[in-house]
Amino acid sequence: MLTQKQHELLCFIDDRLKDSGVSPSFEEMKEALGLKSKSGIHRLISALEERHFIRRLPNRARALEVLKLPEGGVSDIPASNVVPLHQEAPVREVISSHPPAANNDILEIPLHGRIAAGAPIEALEGQSALSVPAALLGPGEHYALEVSGDSMIDAGILDGDYALIQKTEVARDGEIVVALVHEEEATLKYLRKDGGNVQLDPANPAYEPQRYGAGEVRIQGKMAGLLRRY
């Protein structure tokens, strides 16, 4: 059984995967559904996962797979026909068109210490390396940072995870970036550009956004993947 919001979110995720092959961010889902908090998206994702409509791909940030859709698909269903609460929707199994990359190669990338998912802390340069499946990385040069803190939990990034970062000095609005603040402190946050200012948004309602002038923040990379050890 799907509520209206669950159905809308499933449609949005499926459409985005078909268009770009990349799952939308929690912030993009929040804006698409008109919700005030990403915690609501977290609950909807969990509900769809429990009902086996979607699944989270392991060890990858922002990686969702649609397992089944309402009968007849979703792209042609108008909003007025969404399934209301307590009405069971027939479902059909679908084969995902976005499976994880079939690449068993292991790469070693530099491990540059810890980065805050909370109040900014120093990202230390180091000589350590981290072994990473090549399937988790895209093109370009990469490095890894160990996550410290819980401000990105609604994006599925937990304390102790390893953030896999693509080196870049530019990023689009809404991407998760490594931001160097005042040339001394680094933090992992959503990037928001507001005129001549920069806002670094957490993915946890317990934390406030951080606002800086454009000259106070320098992008050092953007999130490419996530590695979690158990």
What DSSP line would sit under 117-148, residue for residue? SSS-B-----SEEEEEEGGG--SS-EEEEEEE
User: What is the residue whose two structure tokens read 């995720």?
Assistant: 13
CB-count exposure of residue 208 (10 Å: 0-12, 13-18, 19+): exposed
Which has more confidence, 149 or 113?
A: 149
Q: Please give the single-letter amino acid code of residue 92.
A: R
Q: Are 66 and 10 in contact (CB under 8 A)?
A: yes
Q: Any idea what DSSP says for residue 180?
A: E
Rounded to whole angstroms, what are the CA distances from 149 to 114, 121, 187?
10, 10, 10
Helix, strand, or coil here: 98?
Answer: coil
pLDDT digits (tens, 9 = 90+) for 32-81: 888 877 777 877 887 788 788 888 776 555 578 888 886 544 333 333 33
Tell me: pLDDT of 146 over 70. Answer: yes
Helix, strand, or coil here: 47?
Answer: helix
Please identify which of the residues 30, 189, 193, 222 carries the catalytic annotation.
189
Please identify which of the residues 151, 167, 193, 222 carries the catalytic annotation.
151
- d(C-alpha 221, C-alpha 214), whole Å: 16
Render the burial of 143-170: b for 16+ CB within 10 Å, e for the rest. Answer: bbbbbbbbbbbbbbbeeebbbbbbebee
Does the annotation mark 151 as catalytic?
Answer: yes
- Mean pLDDT on 186-204: 90
Tell me: pLDDT of 200 over 90. Answer: yes
Q: Please give the single-letter amino acid code of residue 80.
A: S
- φ, ψ (nearest 5 deg) of residue 156: 80, 20
pLDDT range class, residue 177, cuts 50, 70, 90: very high
Least confident of 99-103, 133-137, 213-217: 99-103
Render the burial of 88-121: b for 16+ CB within 10 Å, e for the rest. Answer: ebeeeeeeeeeeeeeeeeeeebbbbbbbbbbebb
Length of the chain: 230
Best CA proximity match to 109, nearest among 135, 136, 122, 128:
128
